[in-house]
Amino acid sequence: MEVLVLDYGAGNLTSVMKALRAVGASPVTGAGADAVTRASAIVIPGVGHFAQTASIDDRARDAIGTAIACGVPLLGICLGLQWLFDGSDEAADVAGLGVFEGRCFDLGSDRGQTGVRPRSDQGQTRVRPGSDHSRAGNSALEGHRGILLPREWSDRGLTPVEPRSDPGLTPLKVPHVGWNTVDPTHRPSRLLDGIPPASFAYFTHTYAAPVVDDTVAVTTHGATFTAVVERGTVFGAQFHPEKSGDAGLRLLANFVRIAGGAC
C-alpha cells in the first residue's frame, strides 16, 4: 500500500516513514498538488510552528480538499492534526484546512492551564509503566517532567484548582512532553481498533486542539484536549504514533488497512 507522506518543510518525515514501513506500507514523500492528486492515501506529519503549514499552498490545499471529498484516507500527526482544524493561536494569520471546527490553543495559556497544589514535595512526573524511562531511573526523566494524569491526583494527594484561582498554584509544565494516556470517548473509531483504553502514547507539543464532536480520544495535561479525531476517512493524532510503541504501530496499521480497503 503506497502512502504519500506530505513534505511541506516540517520535521519528522524519516521516523514516520520508517514506522509506516514497519506496518507493511510503502511510503513515498512528495510535495504540492501533483503529488496529492496521485496519492491513494496521505499522511501529513509535522513537528514545528503552525506557521510552517503556510508552505502548503492554495493548489495543494485544494487538491487535499478534493482528495478528502473523494474518500482518500488522510492522517494528520501532531502539527498535521492541528492543521486539520480552523487554525491555531500559534499563528493567528495562518488558516488551517478547516475539516474540523475550532482553533488550537496554548496549553500554557489561561485556557490551557489547570494548576495543582502539591500536599508535599512529591514530584508530578509520570512515565509509561515498563518503559525504558521507568526502568532507567530518575536520570532518564529529563525532558519528561510535569506529566500528571488526572486520575492519579488523589493518589498523590494533589488538589486540582482552576486557572488563576490561587496565586500560589503550581502550573503544569509546557511543552507537554512525554508519555500520557489516550482515553477513548464514546464515539466508535476505526483508527483505535484493537488499542486498549488508557494506552500510553508519546506527546511533544505546546498547542492542542479542542474537543469536538469528532473527537474519539482525549488526553489531559492541564486542559483536556483532542488526542485522536476521526470523521469518515479523515483522521488525526496529536501524539506521535511512530514513537509510541505497540499502540502507535497499531494505529498506523489500522490506517494502512483502512486505506487499503478504500482503494
Checking DSSP bridges between strand 215-221 and strand 176-184, what pairing results, if any?
antiparallel
| Residue 254 host element (H or E) | helix 245-262
The most distant pair of C-alpha atoms in the chain lies apart, rounded to whole Å, by 58
**DSSP at 214:** T
8 A C-beta contact, residue 187 and residue 215? yes
8 A C-beta contact, residue 98 and residue 62? no
Known catalytic residues are 78, 240, 242
Cis preceding linkage at 175, omega within 30: yes
Cα angle: 260, vertex 52, 27; to 5 degrees:
25
User: Which three cell numbers, joined as nine digits, stand for 59?
Assistant: 493548489
Q: Provide the residue type at 167 as one letter.
A: P
Instruction: Looking at 23-100, list the stretches that DSSP marks H as alpha helix, in order from N- to C-terminal side.
Output: 32-38, 58-69, 79-83
Cα 219 to chain centroid distance, Å, stands at 9
8 A C-beta contact, residue 90 and residue 50? yes
